[in-house]
């Protein structure tokens, strides 16, 4: 408890590892759990049924675990779960889930989340993502691993963003953004694939060539989404090294709703 500033208000029912550091004037509620090595800056409010893992760095002035901005919410014990080794910069707001969906807002591991980011109820964020300043997610949004959101990106409720996708600054997403795709605009339109990001993550030339073929099928050949999905599904034939990337894209496209569609 020596790592907790004397002005912090920590409910005695909260489960706080002895190695956790909590800054001045921070408030921690009774249903909060914080794992070893995590640091929490000054003037934060961590409330609700919130579980925070190990070695997170939470900067000052964050609101984590507040009730959802949902008029239907009536006090149900929904959750916010944050994994390990995340960096959460100033003035972020992460809400708990809602009873109309999973009841959980979930953040994975090793994410870099910059200032003023909002995660609404029932959002799911994967691992190793980067959210630039003022990225805003409405309810029920799903974000895959390695996604990069440019500053001031706004994502409509129920939209899905596939792994390795990237948005430019001030992008507005009303439709699902498939894996590997880079987009820009209001509303967002596909511009290319995230080839440089894939190279930095160690993708081989063969895997990048397969991603280029996916881009061609989805955006250059005037195919319907069903036709493009069929074309993409053939790219792994005789190429076991690209099977995981093809499966990722095909699985994502299989979940696209007719109402939502994809960024085109």
Active-site residue, selected from the candidate residues 118, 121, 140, 215: 121
Burial (CB count within 10 angstroms: exposed 0-12, middle 13-18, buried 19+), residue 72? exposed
121 is a catalytic site residue: yes
Q: What are phi and psi of 120, to 5 degrees?
A: -80, 180
Active-site residue, selected from the candidate residues 97, 139, 144, 162: 139
How far is the C-alpha of 32 from the C-alpha of 133, rounded, in Å? 26
Task: Yes or no: say if 175 and 159 are a contact pair by the CB < 8 Å rule.
Answer: yes
DSSP-derived secondary structure for 67-87: PPS-TT--S---EEEE-SS-E
Task: Yes or no: say if 54 and 75 are a contact pair by the CB < 8 Å rule.
Answer: no
Output the six-digit token pair for 52: 């925070």
Helix (H) or strand (E) holding 249: helix 243-254
How far is the C-alpha of 74 from the C-alpha of 68, rounded, in Å? 10
140 is a catalytic site residue: no
55 is a catalytic site residue: no
Task: Yes or no: say if 183 and 171 are a contact pair by the CB < 8 Å rule.
Answer: yes
Output the six-digit token pair for 181: 């795709």
Helix (H) or strand (E) holding 64: strand 63-66
Active-site residue, selected from the candidate residues 84, 101, 109, 122: 122
Sequence-ordered list of residues with C-beta below 8 angstroms from that of 38, at least 6 positions apart, any chain: 17, 20, 21, 52, 53, 54, 55, 56, 57, 58
Kindly list the catalytic residues: 121-122, 139
């Amino acid at each position: 408890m020596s790592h907790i500033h004397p002005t912090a208000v920590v409910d005695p029912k909260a489960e706080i590892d002895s190695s956790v550091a909590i800054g001045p004037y921070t408030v921690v509620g009774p249903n909060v759990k914080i794992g070893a090595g995590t640091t929490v800056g000054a003037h934060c409010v961590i409330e609700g049924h919130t579980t925070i893992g190990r070695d997170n760095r939470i900067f000052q002035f964050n609101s984590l675990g507040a009730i959802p901005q949902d008029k239907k919410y009536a006090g149900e014990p929904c959750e916010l779960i944050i994994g390990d080794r995340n960096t959460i910069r100033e003035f972020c707001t992460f809400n708990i889930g809602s009873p109309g969906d999973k009841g959980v807002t979930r953040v994975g591991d090793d994410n870099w989340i910059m200032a003023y980011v909002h995660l609404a109820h029932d959002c799911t964020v994967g691992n190793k993502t980067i959210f630039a300043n003022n990225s805003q997610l409405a309810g029920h949004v799903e974000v895959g691993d390695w996604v990069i959101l440019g500053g001031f990106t706004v994502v409509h409720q129920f939209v899905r963003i596939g792994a390795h996708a990237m948005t430019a600054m001030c992008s507005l997403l009303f439709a699902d953004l498939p894996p590997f795709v880079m987009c820009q605009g209001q509303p967002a339109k596909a511009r290319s694939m995230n080839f440089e990001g894939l190279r930095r993550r160690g993708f081989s030339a063969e895997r990048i060539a397969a991603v280029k073929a996916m881009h061609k099928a989805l955006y250059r050949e005037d195919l319907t989404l069903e036709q493009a999905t069929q074309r993409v599904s053939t790219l792994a034939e005789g190429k076991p090294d690209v099977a995981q990337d093809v499966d990722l894209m095909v699985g994502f496209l299989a979940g696209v709703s007719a109402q939502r569609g994809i960024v085109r």
